């Protein structure tokens, strides 16, 4: 009796019944109908999840953040409807390695520069597309983990007793990613396929979250510069939240520098006061 062979062979092909993960951890769709047709065509290759996630899916983001080497597929059936695609690739690449699927004729250079690991045509045959994605997964296995898998973030989340997904994802994003998040990038990531989250909505979520964190004697590192607010990892992060580190830098160490006019800096450098201060 012949056993059908797939990309992984007969014994190690992932399936929903076995609980084994496939090479692609999440598929994000910018137009759901087009992506659903693609996944149906790729089903025989057993390389992609059965269902796509819409842009902004909190559950999908959390899943990527809790994997050491996540791989996400960003499917764009009609690029003319997405004017900010490079920016979306950039913010998603902070969570996961990103492979973008785009129509024929799409310029791949802006997407590669934005952080995409690969840009593939949607018209590629299912077998070749599966092989290329599997090659990306093999390459990822040789790299250092993108996210830590220890229980530090989980202990912080439990200590803060956060129950709302809109606050949990912000906490996870800021704690999991090494570099601070710009408010504009957070708005783009947490919005939908049509528009980013409004700055007012993000501010309301951050206010509720920081108020809860203050009750546990912890806070984000926040800087403001050139009209942008950046959020960095928690300042106090002990094995037990609420215990202050005596060697911690004072609050003013994290405040943005005061912007001065070049003439004002020159006057202060020579020990003179400006006419307005006289």
Domain residue ranges in the chain: 26-141, 152-263
Residue 38 to residue 174: CA distance in whole angstroms: 33
Dump the DSSP string for 31-44.
SHHHHHHHHHHHGG
Backbone angles phi, psi at 136, to 5 degrees: -65, -40
Residue 138 to residue 51: CA distance in whole angstroms: 23
Model confidence over 20-34: pLDDT tens digits?
A: 457 899 999 999 999
Q: Which residue spans within 169-245 are E strands per DSSP? A: 181-182, 220-225, 228-234
Residue 221 to residue 48: CA distance in whole angstroms: 37
pLDDT of residue 234: 80
pLDDT of residue 50: 87
pLDDT at residue 36 tops 90: yes
How much is the pTM? 0.74
pLDDT of residue 106: 94
Model confidence over 69-107: pLDDT tens digits?
A: 999 999 999 998 899 999 999 999 999 999 999 999 999
Confidence band (pLDDT; 50, 70, 90) for 264? low
- pLDDT, mean of residues 243-263: 44
Decide if 122 contacts 77 (C-beta within 8 A): yes
Q: Specify whether the backbone of 97 is left (phi greater than 0), alpha (psi in -120 to 50) or beta.
A: beta
With a pLDDT cut of 90, the percent of the chain lying above it is: 50
Decide if 242 contacts 217 (C-beta within 8 A): yes
pLDDT of residue 253: 43
Residue 277 to residue 45: CA distance in whole angstroms: 73
- pLDDT, mean of residues 147-157: 70
Model confidence over 43-56: pLDDT tens digits?
A: 999 889 989 999 99
Model confidence over 104-134: pLDDT tens digits?
A: 999 999 999 999 999 999 999 999 999 999 9
pLDDT of residue 156: 73
For domain 26-141, give the CATH number: 3.40.50.2300
- pLDDT, mean of residues 34-46: 92
Model confidence over 191-237: pLDDT tens digits?
A: 999 999 999 999 999 999 988 888 888 888 889 888 789 998 886 54
Confidence band (pLDDT; 50, 70, 90) for 147? confident
pLDDT of residue 2: 37
Instruction: Give the range among 125-134, 149-158, 222-231, 261-270 with minimum mean pLDDT.
Output: 261-270
Residue holding tokens 């819409």? Answer: 54
């Amino acid at each position: 009796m012949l056993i059908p062979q797939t990309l992984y062979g007969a014994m190690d092909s992932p399936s929903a019944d076995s609980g084994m993960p496939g090479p692609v951890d999440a598929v994000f769709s910018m137009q759901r109908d087009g992506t659903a047709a693609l996944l149906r065509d790729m089903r025989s290759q057993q390389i992609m999840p059965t269902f796509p996630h819409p842009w902004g899916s909190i559950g999908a983001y959390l899943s990527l953040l809790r994997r050491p080497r996540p791989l996400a597929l960003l499917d764009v059936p009609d690029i003319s409807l997405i004017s900010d695609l490079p920016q979306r690739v950039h913010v998603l690449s902070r969570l996961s390695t990103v492979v973008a699927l785009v129509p024929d004729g799409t310029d791949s250079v802006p997407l590669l520069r934005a952080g995409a690991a690969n840009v593939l045509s949607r018209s590629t045959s299912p077998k070749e597309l599966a092989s290329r994605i599997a090659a990306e997964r093999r390459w990822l296995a040789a790299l250092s983990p993108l996210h830590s898998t220890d229980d530090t973030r989980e202990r912080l989340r439990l200590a803060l007793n956060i129950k709302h997904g809109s606050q949990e994802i912000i906490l996870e994003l800021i704690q999991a990613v090494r570099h601070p998040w710009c408010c504009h990038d957070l708005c783009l990531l947490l919005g939908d396929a049509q528009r980013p989250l409004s700055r007012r909505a993000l501010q309301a979520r951050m206010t509720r979250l920081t108020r809860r964190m203050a009750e546990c004697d912890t806070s984000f590192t926040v800087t403001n510069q050139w009209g942008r607010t950046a959020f960095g990892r928690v300042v106090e992060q002990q094995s037990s939240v609420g215990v202050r580190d005596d060697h911690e830098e004072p609050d003013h160490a994290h405040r943005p520098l005061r912007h001065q006019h070049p003439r004002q800096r020159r006057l202060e450098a020579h020990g003179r006061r400006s006419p307005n201060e006289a």
